[in-house]
Structure 1
Amino acid sequence: MNYQQLIHDLVNAKGAPGFEDEVLEVLYNYKGSYTMQSDNLKNAYYNLDQLDPHKPTLMLDSHTDEVAFMVKAIDERGLIHIQALGGWLAEHVSAQHYLVRDRLGNYHPGISTSKPIHFMTAEERAKKITLADLKIDVGASSRQEVIEDFKITIGQPIVPATEFAFNERNQVMFGKGFDNRIGVAVSVAIMNEMQDYLKDLPFNLVAAFAAQEEVGMRGAVVTSKRVNPQMALVFEGTPSDDFTADQYLEQARLGRGPQLRYRDNSYIANEWMLKRFNQLASENNLPLQHAVREGGSTNAGSIHLSNQGVPVATLGTPTRYAHTNYCFCSYKDFENTVKLSLAFIKNLTAENFKQFELK
């Protein structure tokens, strides 16, 4: 089945941390025959109400939020001061197109400020800018105009204005928020492909879509408690390093398949799961990349420490220019992430779970 429209809808949805409502609407539209539940943190779940207490549970995790900003203050000139929601570099933010929500839920186009080169001194051109130097301009001329006419108030979300596009020639997708809407799409696709197999599985299968990952993996703290999984797969839009290292250090190139993450700052992957994914990739002739990350984190950090400890592995779909307004992601990589995950799930047995039972 083709999932391009699903990815289109997920990527274009606006979902700053804490404001993931549009993403949940897309999830509801694509839930198929599954039931969908949600909670007070705006986490969502497929199939949660069908848990058999006599079976172990495999949880598919992905996060619905994207890196964004929040209105921090509005000055006398009508410029919006911003608070980052997630990790941004100032040089990636300047002179970009954003959408600012008003108190009625409407979004207004805005431009992040940049001083014209005509007015800059040599010292200013050489100076490194910071996020504190940047504001969002919605085309107003006063604080009063922003508040009264635009109806923009403190605490409103701000997201990149990028629209999804697809290159048929090389199957590469363009848009914002592939971290982690591509992981969400992987989870939805897997659940769709597994609908006819659920009754025969020796375990429960639940997809959990977590909120607020970009601000501290908060949603996954709740989802892991509510689902109580005995094993979990985390799906991410992992940063691509195509142009940042030599071939022996590259860990996630576009078009080279999913990335299996062995460790990052939040977790060390379960050894049995790592071996199993490597075995299945070889048996099914599927591409697989390998990463020992020096930094970064995913919901695996919250999930593997939940309950009394959960075996977890993370599969990432490479994303060029993650945490910026404009990203590339390969549809072929998405397909191969889904294929490898399905091979893992369909070959998972009750005995595989028993090895992780507490002694």
Structure 2
Amino acid sequence: MNLKLLKALSEAFGPSGFEEDVVKIVKNNVPFCDIEIDAMNNVYLSLKSNTGNKPKLLLDAHLDEVGFMVQSVAKNGLISFVPLGGWVPTNVPAHTVHIKTETGELVQGIIASKPPHFMSEKEKSAPLELESLQIDIGASDRETVINVFGIQVGDPIAPHVIFNENSKSDFVFGKAFDNRMGCFAVIETLRLLSTIEELPYDVIGALASQEEVGTRGAHVTGQVTAPDMAIVFEGSPADDLYYDAQTAQCVLGSGVQIRHMDASYVSHRRLINFAKSLADAHEIPYQSAVRRKGGTNAGRLHTSGKAVPVLVLGVPSRYVHTHYNYASLKDVKATIDLAVKVATAPVQKLSID
């Protein structure tokens, strides 16, 4: 498993609409694919062995991470921002970020928080509003922020976190596991499939932009690729710390998550059953999940064209939509292994006669 690639993907700057750095990393790591990039930063990866006369299997993941955008710069040099994607306000303060300027420079800042010494009891107990937060880049006036650091209204902002592997476990730590874990799984699955001489499908990877702000990239990739079947890879929110063993459905170290339902789609039962049968036959650990909330690119893809059977495979990831994540390499491997088994199995008839 290429941990250097996983590290690069995790650390890359890439909030919704500003995925260019992630695209460059992908472009440099897929010699086994023909690559196309559209005007929206969507990336299309076609195996060089594709023939054009087989059913098309789409491997989907989204490139973007949750982030922010500069909205204004105050007289004292503090920067107001708006969210790109879903954040819980209390998770945001007192963490470091990078602001990417027009020239591509990454400026480090900290999301400012008032020390308790200066807070009234009323302030301490009041709900935190995202609109009240500001970023301090180490300047004392608006002119310095704009003229010296080059920061402008509209500049994108992303968490700044260094990836590392825990030497005492198989856990990895970093940012943006939702969904750089999915991007990594797509690339690794394509790499493994490229070594197989005869595949039942023409396989296309589509790494979509702007999922976190409305699955917008997948609206395009579904139309462009027109797949017969799709696998959506996600860094799925781990729930192992919040529920008991009978209730939790996204546990680190327990295998790939097979998602049956969320707010964006209801799974294709025959495809789910087929994937589970392959996992059982090859002893690939998995866990089934029914989600009350959330969604993935499957919501867009399964209603594209004449309808597309979609399988959602998740890598359990703790603390998604925050600065910091944990995931288990065992689960990453299980996700890739199951995807390869689905992609190499004989084409299934998934419609009703």
Using the size of structure 1 for normalisation, the TM-score is: 0.96
How far off its partner does 1:348 sit?
3.2
Secondary structure, in 3 states, of the residue corresponding to 2:243? coil
**Equivalent residue, structure 1, for 2:158:** 159
How far off its partner does 1:103 sit?
1.7
On the 8 A contact 1:8/1:164 being kept in 2, the answer is: yes
Alignment equivalent of 1:226, drawn from 224, 227, 252: 224
Using the size of structure 2 for normalisation, the TM-score is: 0.97
Find the aligned partners of 1:222 and 1:49 in 2 and give their Cα distance.
22
How far off its partner does 1:251 sit?
0.8
For residues 130-165 of structure 1, give each alpha carbon's deviation from its aligned partner in whole angstroms, at most 9, with x where no partner exists: 101101111111111111111000111101010101
Asked if 1:81 is matched to 2:80, the reply is: yes
For residues 279-313 of structure 1, give each alpha carbon's deviation from its aligned partner in whole angstroms, at most 9, with x where no partner exists: 11111111111110000000000100111111101
Asked if 1:333 is matched to 2:331, the reply is: yes
Find the aligned partners of 1:204 and 1:33 in 2 and give their Cα distance.
14
**Equivalent residue, structure 2, for 1:145:** 144
**Equivalent residue, structure 1, for 2:132:** 133
Code of the aligned partner of 1:169: K
**Equivalent residue, structure 1, for 2:33:** 34
Identity %: 38
**Equivalent residue, structure 2, for 1:250:** 248
**Equivalent residue, structure 2, for 1:343:** 341
How far off its partner does 1:337 sit?
0.7
Find the aligned partners of 1:3 and 1:48 in 2 and give their Cα distance.
19
**Equivalent residue, structure 2, for 1:301:** 299
- How many residues align? The count is 353
Asked if 1:194 is matched to 2:197, the reply is: no
For residues 7-59 of structure 1, give each alpha carbon's deviation from its aligned partner in whole angstroms, at most 9, with x where no partner exists: 01100111011110111111111102311111011000111787544321000
On the 8 A contact 1:36/1:47 being kept in 2, the answer is: yes
**Equivalent residue, structure 1, for 2:272:** 274
On the 8 A contact 1:48/1:227 being kept in 2, the answer is: no
On the 8 A contact 2:309/2:350 being kept in 1, the answer is: no
On the 8 A contact 1:37/1:48 being kept in 2, the answer is: no
The 4+ residue runs of structure 1 with deviation greater than 2 A are 48-54, 354-357
Aligned-residue RMSD, C-alpha: 1.4
**Equivalent residue, structure 2, for 1:263:** 261
Find the aligned partners of 1:51 and 1:310 in 2 and give their Cα distance.
20
Stretches of structure 1 lacking an aligned partner (at least 5 in a row): none
Find the aligned partners of 1:294 and 1:196 in 2 and give their Cα distance.
39
Find the aligned partners of 1:195 and 1:24 in 2 and give their Cα distance.
20
Asked if 1:356 is matched to 2:348, the reply is: no
**Equivalent residue, structure 2, for 1:317:** 315
Find the aligned partners of 1:33 and 1:282 in 2 and give their Cα distance.
30
For residues 103-123 of structure 1, give each alpha carbon's deviation from its aligned partner in whole angstroms, at most 9, with x where no partner exists: 211011101011111111111
Change (3 A) 1:283 1:178: same
Secondary structure, in 3 states, of the residue corresponding to 2:212? coil
Stretches of structure 2 lacking an aligned partner (at least 5 in a row): none
